[in-house]
Structure 1
Amino acid sequence: MRITGGIHGGRRLKVPRGGVVRPTLDQVREALFSMVAAALPQWRVLDLFAGSGAVGFDAISRGAVEVVWVEREKRTCTLIEENCRTLQAENGRVVCADVFRWITGPGKNMGFDMVFADPPYEFFREADYSGIMGSLCEYEVIAPGGWFVGEQPAKTRAVVVPGWELLRDRTYGAARLVIYRR
């Protein structure tokens, strides 16, 4: 797993072994950051269900002013912290917590400019992003005008979410990237 661009482009990241996480593909991250490149240097980014943390590290490498990773698996959090130290990413912070509890508690009123979510694909058997997007607004975790970026299985569809504008809906192999603006 490597960082795809910016000042740390090409640097390798430590990732959990044994299929614990499904890292966002390089191609998906490159596509995402080509869309947000102009705004990113002023943005605060939240990486939910962080897994490898690759999206957040790509954001830091491209100039995001702050990145917060939220991941519940302790072993995975430790690796993200190690990668932060290796890259001297002082503007990054790892929170080892359940995403839903964090959103309704410590994450309140944080006003992030971009929220990226890549939950385990099993999440999509019974749910879509509308619930989490509603919570991000209700608890003001995302700023007005902020972007929500979700990675989901390619076989699923983007949904219409009241109060959100669907900006992009693209498929990359087995992954679908959906981008909404609040």
Structure 2
Amino acid sequence: MKKNRNSPQSVQQMGEVRVIAGLWRGRKLPVLNAEGLRPTTDRVKETLFNWLMHDIAHSRCLDCFAGSGSLGIEALSRQAQAVVFLEKFANAANQLKKNLQALKSEQGSVIHTDTLAYLAQKNNGEPFNIVFIDPPFHQGFVPQVLNLLAENNWLARMRFCMWKPRKITRH
């Protein structure tokens, strides 16, 4: 059986991500070092959370295509009320659960699911204020995710959706 090269299931070894600020500042957490799994860099995280610094505390966050969970964990470290992590690949979801347990975080929950299928359902719970969208490259998921979030009651009235583009170009 041929392995999917874009799947983080083909694990090679462990890498790590660092929490930038907040309760767990400086903590390094193990993450799978696998093809297709690329944690957000410290520089990007720092910039993003500088933008969100006045909005993150007490917010409900959704981390789509969570992977390492780097963005959601950073939000929890900075006093987010709750973060729901959506991750399709079992190994990545399991490692994320272990990291949340190591941090003794009760505000984070990991759902092992396909993000698109999950968001296609109507949300009957409390909506999210902040949504992190960091899908696999070259899949074209961002427009579909944005539509599903809006159509199915996933977004609170005051909301932010953040996604990391594949490439940033200068004009």
Q: CA–CA distance in 1 between the matches of 2:61 and 2:94?
A: 20
Give the Cα separation in 1 of the matches to 2:18 and 2:35: 17
1:113 and 2:129 equivalent?
yes
Displacement of 1:17 in angstroms is: 2.0
User: Which 4+ residue blocks in structure 1 deviate beyond 3 angstroms?
Assistant: 106-110
CA contact (8 A) 2:36 2:136 kept: no
Residue equivalent to 1:29? 45
Could you tell me which runs of 5 or more consecutive residues in structure 1 were left unpaired when the two chains were aligned.
157-170, 172-182
Q: TM-score, normalised by structure 1?
A: 0.79
TM-score (norm 2): 0.84
Structure 2 unaligned blocks of 5 or more: 1-16
Following TM superposition, by how much is the alpha carbon of 1:110 offset from its aligned partner in structure 2, in angstroms? 3.7
Partner deviation per Cα, 1:59-103 (whole Å, 9 max, x = no partner): 000000000100000000000000000000100000000001111
Of residues 119, 125, 134 in structure 1, which corresponds to 2:147?
Answer: 134
Q: State yes or no: 1:45 paired with 2:58.
A: no
Q: CA RMSD in A?
A: 1.7
Q: How does 1:1-182 map to 2 (within 5 A)?
A: 1-105=17-121, 107=123, 109-123=125-139, 127=140, 129-155=142-168
Pair 53,8 (structure 1): closer, same or farther in 2 beyond 3 Å: same
Identity of aligned residues (%): 30
CA contact (8 A) 1:109 1:139 kept: no
Cα distance in structure 2, aligned partners of 1:140 and 1:110: 9
Q: Which amino acid aligns with 2:150?
A: C
